[in-house]
Chains A and B, each alone.
Chain A
Amino acid sequence: TQLLEQSPQFLSIQEGENLTVYCNSSSVFSSLQWYRQEPGEGPVLLVTVVTGGEVKKLKRLTFQFGDARKDSSLHITAAQPGDTGLYLCAGADQTGANNLFFGTGTRLTVIP
């Protein structure tokens, strides 16, 4: 079983602050994806990183894939209340089936 550990599990910050969420595993993944999930809805894809060392920016969000393709981080700059939600990382296995294995998630609350 490919285990992905996310930290922190819960994060409550003031609007305007910066934050980083970490996703770590002992397994190597062919790609790693970050999702955001609202209550009662399915996860929505934010980004896919494929190459070790890759950095992708999406407005105030910066995603990094570790050189060894085992870990990743999500950095949010100047957090806004609209960023509140559950952030999930998911690694795709290397079998070619592209099955995703999810972390336990980081629940972010941004206080106005």
Chain B
Amino acid sequence: DTGVSQDPRHKITKRGQNVTFRCDPISEHNRLYWYRQTLGQGPEFLTYFQNEAQLEKSRLLSDRFSAERPKGSFSTLEIQRTEQGDSAMYLCASSGTHLYTFGSGTRLTVV
């Protein structure tokens, strides 16, 4: 296992389109997190899963954002009706205990 994988690495989309990002965590990690990072800022927590259960989603930025982890393995983050303000790096991380491992992120550009 080589770490946390995110796909795609880059996504350019037109305003109003829907986008979906995938995250494959480290297999033995039961927790999976999504963060958003805008230019010049630290990552901002969005949501997290313990196995397949989404235990925190109040920090999702709007009802256009949703995340799933159907079988407790990979996760998807969907943004509906994208806006230019959604342009950012979307990071996924997984953890066992204290130790987080981040993926390389998906950079979204909304034009």
Contact = CB atoms under 8 A, between A and B. Distances in A.
A40 B94 CA distance: 19
Given A98-B98, A104-B42, A42 B48 contact: no
Contact of A42 (B50, B55, B93, B99): B93
A103 B72 CA distance: 29
Interface string B62-103: 000000000000000000000000000001010101111111
A50 B97 CA distance: 12
A102 B44 CA distance: 7
Classify chain A's interface size. Answer: 20 to 34
Interface string B36-65: 000011111100101000011000000000
Contacts of A97: 48, 50, 55-56
A3 B31 CA distance: 23
B33 interface: yes
A99 B56 contact: yes
B109 interface: no
B25 interface: no
Interface of B: 4, 31, 33, 35, 40-45, 48, 50, 55-56, 91, 93, 95, 97-105, 107
30 contacts: A31-B98, A33-B100, A35-B102, A40-B104, A40-B107, A41-B104, A41-B105, A42-B105, A44-B102, A45-B99, A48-B98, A50-B98, A88-B43, A90-B43, A92-B98, A97-B48, A97-B50, A97-B55, A97-B56, A98-B95, A98-B98, A99-B33, A99-B45, A99-B48, A100-B43, A100-B93, A102-B35, A102-B44, A104-B42, A105-B41
